Chains A and B, each alone.
Chain A
Amino acid sequence: MLLVITLLGVITITFVLSRVLPGSPVELMIGGHPTQEQIDAKKHELGLDLPIHEQFVMFVGNTIRGDFGTSLHTKQPVIEDIAERATATLELTTLAVVLIILIGVPIGVISAVHSNTMVDHAARTLSIAGVALPVFMAAILLQMVFYGALGWLPIQGRMSSVILLDYPFERVTGLYLVDTLLAGSWIAFKDAAAHMVLPLATLTLATLPMVTRITRNMMMEVLGEEYIRTAFAYGIPKRDIYYRYALKAVLIPLITVIGLAYGFLLGGSVVVEFVFDWPGLGGYVVRSITRSDFPASIGVTVVLATTYLSINLIVDMLYFAIDPRLRST
């Protein structure tokens, strides 16, 4: 299937990148000042002295099994590092997607329905401005205001270490908001929620303009369609036309926007997690690269790319299932 080919392509690119790495990763892995013998031994152990195509096959095999080697920094298998951090990113991005849809779609729809009025102009101006602001600036500004000036929210991290010690809770899902509630620990929940506000707000604000804009454009296109004119011609009240007929026509293609938004979020989470010291995959990517932790960098890249691909696949399948025009006679 198409997915397999693309996935293979992704893995190939990652493989190419991993073999182009500067410096001497092997030396770093051994640590200290290894002798040539030690280097050669390590190379043999990792299979780096094999011909390149055999290396590739080995790489693919390892990837499928989830074996990305051991992180140079944490000394754990990379796959375990990833598993620990995946839920943190999942919690953040999923909540962000929900918020973005709940806020962005209605704004886009209303903007289109009342096009060229004050509401529309305001929404579009904010949209255009929002796109121009770098994610890291938004993050820093929020920190400045809500932590620096007002002191309402914590500056970074996922939970205060104090709370973690005094109010421990069991990790069931890995999603702190859920787990704290399951454990009935109200104080821990409040702390987790407080820590989540700023990163969530940053991510949401960063992606909202794009979604609003696309929704508005799609809605305007739908409103110009002939079947909307027919609805007017048969005396259907405006409200029904906009919020029943037009909306239904828009919601279906809008599903693809979810996939797009998720991709944006995965990219944005790299910066956001970096700024807010959020223990997720995005931060892991940055840290492993700046620390030249090559096994980790490669592993997390493959995982993130695969996740993005899967989400888009799901979105495509959903689209197929929902659009009546794609149903056969």
Chain B
Amino acid sequence: MTAIGDEFKRTPVSEPSLALVVRHFVTSHVLFVVGAVVFTVIVICALFAPWVATHDPIAIVFADKLEPPSLDHLMGTDSLGRDIFSRVMFGARTSLMVGVVVTGLAILIGLPIGLLSGYFGGRVDTVLMRFSDVFLAFPPLLLPIAITAALGSGLINAMFALAVSWFPWYARIMRGSVIRVKNELYISAARAMGVSHTRTMIRHVVPNALTPVVVQGSMDFGYTILAAASLSFIGIGAQPPRMEWGLMAALSRSKFLDFWWTVTFPGLAIFVTVLAVNLLGDGIRDMLDPKHKEFR
């Protein structure tokens, strides 16, 4: 019996060119790229709202009230004659701020809790986790509503309420991550060399345990914007004269049947923003968390 085929033994191999790599990246991660592009546009609109807006967003012009979309007013006007397009642009600032503040605050609260819980284990862990679980026992939206009710309506209070309702997720994730890292050999090595608990935690555990938190944060960003908009819509979150998309939709609600643009455009703005953010977050997750690789 002799072997067949030198032709099987070798395939010419060359390093892929940069153009090929980029093209492959874009085509296999289309959604991520789309999300990133749209998100960048939104950020630009938010940052440069005063220049992007076509009119003064708070200028009330009764004569122009409830006009349909036109070249002059790209998204029409509301019941007070205000240009909706400009208001939507400024609303982007609010929504992005909400996303950053709520997610940031939730992580800020949840991270230390998860760190202490996972690192020390035992009773500390039990107490901290039971405490966090209580917050998780509420159906979504109910706790933020209750907290905002207690503190009084308003966007700041709503953001605080959302952050407080949301931190347990990050505490749990951080805790799981810390437990995994804690059992790594280099931690025992550091402790054996006499590094104090605090230093160990800060310099060794945290940097390595952060990834799942970042992944979750990028995925939650969109949800916080949605939640804030919903709270504003039912009258508990942002209050006039703030420019927030959910609030804009609520204010025009009684007129939406005949003047669809007053409600549709703010809602669409929310949709596009959250979609872009979600696509971006999913892409980040795919890149950082190999278990979820669906493109291969």
Q: Interface of A with B (CB < 8 Å)?
A: 5-7, 9-10, 12-14, 17-18, 20-22, 128-129, 131-137, 140-141, 143-144, 147-148, 262-264, 266-268, 270-271, 274, 285-286, 289-290, 297, 301, 304-305, 308-309
Contacts and interface: CB of A to CB of B under 8 A. Distances in A.
Contacts of B236: 286, 289-290
B109 interface: no
Contact of A13 (B130, B134, B270, B271): B134
A10 B150 contact: no
Q: Is the interface of A mostly helix, strand, loop or mixed?
A: helix
Contacts of B138: 10, 304-305, 308
B81 interface: no
Considering the complex of A and B, which 4 residue pairs feature the smallest CB-CB distances, nearest first? A9-B134, A267-B141, A137-B267, A132-B275
Contacts of B275: 128-129, 132
A301 B147 CA distance: 11
Contacts of A148: 257
A272 to B, nearest CB: 11
Given A144-B260, A266-B139, A289-B145, A132 B274 contact: yes
Contacts of A267: 139-142
B142 A304 contact: yes
A68 to B, nearest CB: 14
B230 interface: yes
B36 to A, nearest CB: 15
A305 B133 CA distance: 13
13 contacts: A9-B134, A10-B134, A13-B143, A21-B149, A134-B246, A134-B274, A136-B234, A137-B249, A137-B270, A262-B139, A263-B140, A305-B142, A308-B139
Given A134-B226, A289-B149, A9 B139 contact: no
A297 B149 contact: yes
Interface of B: 31, 130-131, 133-135, 137-143, 145-153, 222, 226, 229-230, 233-236, 246, 249, 253, 256-257, 260, 263-264, 267-268, 270-272, 274-275, 278-279, 282
Nearest to B250: A136
A189 to B, nearest CB: 28
A6 B233 contact: no
Given A12-B134, A133-B270, A140-B253, 7 more contacts: A6-B133, A132-B275, A134-B271, A140-B267, A148-B257, A271-B141, A271-B234
A79 B146 CA distance: 18
Contacts of A21: 149-150
Q: Is the interface of B mostly helix, strand, loop or mixed?
A: helix
Contact of A133 (B153, B253, B257, B271): B271
Contacts of B152: 22
A219 to B, nearest CB: 13
A9 B234 contact: no
Nearest to A5: B130
Contacts of B271: 129, 132-134, 137
A270 B278 contact: no
A270 B145 contact: yes
Contacts of B267: 133-134, 136-137, 140-141
Nearest to A298: B146
A266 B282 CA distance: 26
B150 A128 contact: no
A177 to B, nearest CB: 24
A137 B271 CA distance: 9
